[in-house]
A and B are shown apart, each in its own frame.
Chain A
Amino acid sequence: GQQLNQSPQSMFIQEGEDVSMNCTSSSIFNTWLWYKQEPGEGPVLLIALYKAGELTSNGRLTAQFGITRKDSFLNISASIPSDVGIYFCAGPNSGYALNFGKGTSLLVTP
């Protein structure tokens, strides 16, 4: 399937800092999704992007659908300890399946 490359692999930051992570693909996607997963739980949808160039916010989270349709970015402003988790980007293929990146692990210290 289409491979999604996420970076960075992990981040260790202090509370209050801003966070940026991105996801790139060799193929074009028509939808980009960002999920957060906490230990022992399933991924929770944070933001869905449906149009190239689209910039969407959800509270302190902002995500953008790249113009080339081959990348997406997620920013978290003023991080707090409950932002800890693994953030995944995902894109649907034509076969009703989601392709996922390997995730960005975020640790926030008080």
Chain B
Amino acid sequence: KAGVTQTPRYLIKTRGQQVTLSCSPISGHRSVSWYQQTPGQGLQFLFEYFSETQRNKGNFPGRFSGRQFSNSRSEMNVSTLELGDSALYLCASSLDGLETQYFGPGTRLLVL
């Protein structure tokens, strides 16, 4: 069974731009969560989607948004990028959000 895939793997943007990251969960998994990982803050929860509905959101500004499609694939968008948004963005999938989460390889975003 294929794992969680994320595209692109690397991205360089400049301040003020926006970015869209994509995540394809493990087949059959309906829950997709997004996390931001930085050296200073560690792994922090962004939001979780299940059946195209956002069920929970972490403590991030509204510039961070996401959505989930009917095939459970998810996208995350960050608008008006700031230098501090440079991070590894990780997507994780699980059967229903309460089961064990499996992570993708991440998208490394660098904001210049």
Could you list which residues of chain A lie within 8 angstroms of chain B, going by C-beta atoms?
A: 1, 31, 33, 35, 40-45, 48, 88, 90, 92, 95-103
Q: Which of B59-112 contact A (CB under 8 A)?
A: 90, 92, 97-98, 100-106, 108
Could you list which residues of chain B lie within 8 angstroms of chain A, going by C-beta atoms?
A: 4, 6, 31, 33, 35, 42-43, 45, 48, 50, 55-56, 58, 90, 92, 97-98, 100-106, 108
Q: Which residues of B contact A43 (CB under 8 A)?
A: 43, 90, 103
**Contact A95:B48 (CB < 8 A) given known A42-B106, A103-B42:** yes
- C-alpha spacing A98/B98, complex, angstroms: 10
Interface pair B103/A35, CB less than 8 Å apart = yes
Interface pair A97/B105, CB less than 8 Å apart = no
Interface pair B90/A33, CB less than 8 Å apart = no
Interface pair A48/B100, CB less than 8 Å apart = yes
Q: Which residues of B contact A31 (CB under 8 A)?
A: 100
Q: Which residues of A contact B42 (CB under 8 A)?
A: 100-103
Instruction: Give B50 Cβ to nearest chain A Cβ, in Å.
Output: 7
Instruction: Give B22 Cβ to nearest chain A Cβ, in Å.
Output: 14
Interface pair A41/B43, CB less than 8 Å apart = no
Further pairs besides A95-B48, A98-B33, A98-B92: 14, Cβ < 8 Å: A33-B100, A35-B103, A42-B103, A45-B100, A92-B101, A95-B55, A97-B45, A97-B48, A97-B58, A98-B35, A98-B45, A99-B45, A100-B42, A102-B42
B48: nearest chain-A partner, CB-CB: A96
Interface centre among B6, B31, B92, B101 (most CB of A within 10 A): B101
25 A-B residue contacts at CB 8 Å? A31-B100, A35-B103, A40-B106, A41-B105, A42-B6, A42-B90, A42-B104, A42-B106, A43-B103, A90-B43, A92-B98, A92-B101, A95-B48, A95-B55, A95-B56, A96-B55, A96-B56, A97-B33, A97-B45, A97-B56, A98-B35, A98-B92, A101-B42, A102-B42, A103-B42
